[in-house]
A and B are shown apart, each in its own frame.
Chain A
Amino acid sequence: MKKVKVGIIGTGNIGTDLLIKVQRSEILECGLFAGKNPDSVGIRRAEKMGVRTSFNSIKEIQDDPDCCAIVFDATSAQVHSFNAPILTKLGKFVVDLTPSSIGKMCVPVVNLKECLNSVNVNLITCGGQATIPIAYALIKAHPEIGYIEVVASIASKSAGSGTRANIDEYVLATKEAVRIFTGVDQAKAIIILNSAEPPVFMRNTVYAKIEKPNLEKITEQVLIMAQKIQKYVPGYKIVLGPVVENNRVTTMVEVAGRGDFLPKYSGNLDIITCAAVNVAEEFAKKKILRLKD
């Protein structure tokens, strides 16, 4: 089967992790790995893998639009707001891994199908990918929930310079997505960077305030959801709960990475790059190769 070509813009942690996952895919292959940073470790890695690289970032796609049909944007929210209209004009299907909030927000396990009809799909944040499915499961069990809070703690070493310099975008995009996916107006998002050595695995906690929680029903929904995510994020695991104390329902999730680019503690990379590859593969199958399920 002929593979569908993708372009990756952004050669940092996320872009490089994506590259490795794309090259493993049976449906996708990397047609271009482009960025701006001449010191990028990722670019050297791509060259070694025999992948076409460029320091011209999006310009390279403008000059040679046939190099890819799908584009992953792993730059920053600011750069993506520049890239998005250009890519749409070129007719590319865009999977955006920055917290730009420009395209249709997507958590594959919740709304993949409807996203395939958009031209630009936004993957929110790593914390969003990890916690929204749980929040969604809680809402299924208790539609009356009035407050939801999500907390992500990640190893400092796995938070790239873009994330660190723009931490507000991360918090705001995550919070907004929790609100939209659950319909709960009162939502809060928190991110903590932990610099412990050896680095900690990505942990996410989802809290909900529920009067008279039905723990059996909640647990059932949460476990169903976790199983579904494990299909595209193998390292996703419920490590605590759901437990209840004073109407506070707590669920804790750990995400171990595959160790593709950064070591296994960087579950925060995997959860979003796995989601990105999942979206791109489904788009390629349904819209380009026109395969049936």
Chain B
Amino acid sequence: MTKDIIFFDSTLRDGSHAIGHKLTVDNIRNYCTGIDGSGLHVVIVGHGNGLGASSLQIGLSALPDQEMLTTARKALKKTKLGAFLIPGLGTIKDNLAPAIDLGVDLVCVACHCTEADVTGQHIDYVRKRGKDVYGVLMMCHMAAKEKLLMEAKKMQSYGALGVILMDSAGAFDPNMLEETVSFLSKKLDIPVGFHGHNNLGLAVSNSLTAIRSGAKIIDGTIRGFGAGAGNCQLEVFIGLLSRMKIETGVDLYKLMDVSDGVVAKIMHKAQEIDSVSLTSGMAGVFSGFAPYVKKAAERFSVDPRDIFIALGKRKIVGGQEDFIIDVALEIANKKAKDQNLSF
């Protein structure tokens, strides 16, 4: 392992999930000013589900995409500005083209891990605009490594510079991860990346497993700020690499200062693994569902953990937030029926 690892900073993207997509102009300006030039490869900014995702289905952003990107663009002089896009939620015409016009340097085009052919149009577009483009396979615990390879190869053929495996539910165990990452790193011509979640307390150690297995990109967030149980805490991970005498070229003090001085103030509460996030990891359901699951549980007087388990059984993927109410209602009805029967 050498210093050829690059770091994607998703603090201002994944962190959006944790505060109901309510980042402010000040949040973005302060963060970007502090983190600029720290040695991280890119700072990705926006709604938790990316460009064009602000919606009643997934949650409305406090700020329009353009305003978030413009604010970040002004503050970032050295570090690249990134955007995230999930085809089906955002389009080239309405979202991607305007974002690149505003000065985005790098785009992550993401899809559910079995659906890479929906990213062809978008990856090709970013490449033709002369910007860096990476593919992201979300919820990748849901597919076997052979299937993931097939999908990653599609992204490679569209022109992606790398493919990031996103453990959206924080459900990867270290063995499964090692097997998957080594397999893909060996078979792909482009670098493999890993984006971990902490539902099972493994985000940092899984990121280490990933680079030991051949990953070249680690995607994480400062202070672990992110959906559900949060992400691989970048400053901790880089601190660990430093202790292991692995050179990263990242200014760790700068990261720590932004963590304490800026991110701690943006966060509504400290990042923790509560029982709902833990269940989400065990059920293999997207971490970002947690606030909506809690709301539905309260409304229909059911256990949020039961909702997560039921969503897991239905193999619900990211973006299907509308199923939460449906599942909650189903559990509530069943509960009512059982109670009636017991009289």
**A residues whose Cβ falls under 8 Å from a Cβ of B:** 147, 149, 151, 153, 156, 161, 164-168, 171-172, 188, 190-197, 200, 203, 205, 207, 209, 239-240, 243, 245, 248, 250, 252
Contacts and interface: CB of A to CB of B under 8 A. Distances in A.
A250 B114 contact: no
B88 A192 contact: yes
Contact of B94 (A161, A172, A200): A172
A207 B118 contact: no
Interface in B101-132: 112, 114-115, 117-118, 120-122
B187 interface: no
A287 to B, nearest CB: 36
Nearest to A240: B326
Given A149-B57, A153-B320, A165 B117 contact: yes
A248 B122 CA distance: 31
B317 interface: yes
B92 A196 contact: no
A192 B319 contact: yes
B271 to A, nearest CB: 26
A205 B322 contact: yes
A194 B285 CA distance: 13
Interface of B: 55-57, 87-89, 91-94, 112, 114-115, 117-118, 120-122, 142, 299, 314-317, 319-320, 322-323, 325-326, 329
Contacts of A193: 88, 112, 115, 118
B91 A172 contact: yes
Given A149-B55, A164-B117, A196 B315 contact: yes
Given A192-B319, A196-B315, A239 B326 contact: yes
Q: Which 9 A-B pairs have the closest CB atoms?
A: A196-B315, A207-B56, A205-B322, A195-B114, A192-B319, A168-B91, A191-B88, A164-B117, A167-B118
A172 B93 CA distance: 9
B322 A203 contact: yes
A190 B317 CA distance: 14
Given A156-B115, A239-B326, 13 more contacts: A149-B57, A151-B322, A165-B117, A166-B121, A171-B88, A194-B317, A195-B115, A196-B314, A196-B317, A200-B314, A205-B57, A205-B322, A245-B299
Contacts of A164: 115, 117-118
Nearest to A152: B88
A193 B113 CA distance: 11
Given A164-B117, A196-B315, A190 B325 contact: no
A192 B110 CA distance: 12
Contact of A168 (B112, B121, B320, B322): B121
A196 B299 CA distance: 28
Contacts of B322: 151, 153, 203, 205, 250, 252
Contacts of B326: 239-240, 252
Contact of A195 (B55, B112, B121): B112
Contacts of A171: 88, 91
Contacts of B120: 165
B319 A250 contact: no
A156 B114 contact: yes
22 contacts: A149-B57, A153-B320, A164-B115, A164-B117, A167-B121, A168-B93, A171-B91, A172-B93, A172-B94, A190-B319, A192-B320, A193-B112, A193-B115, A195-B114, A195-B115, A195-B315, A196-B317, A197-B315, A205-B322, A207-B57, A209-B56, A243-B325
Nearest to B57: A151
Nearest to A209: B56
A165 B87 CA distance: 10
Contacts of B317: 192, 194-196
B335 to A, nearest CB: 17
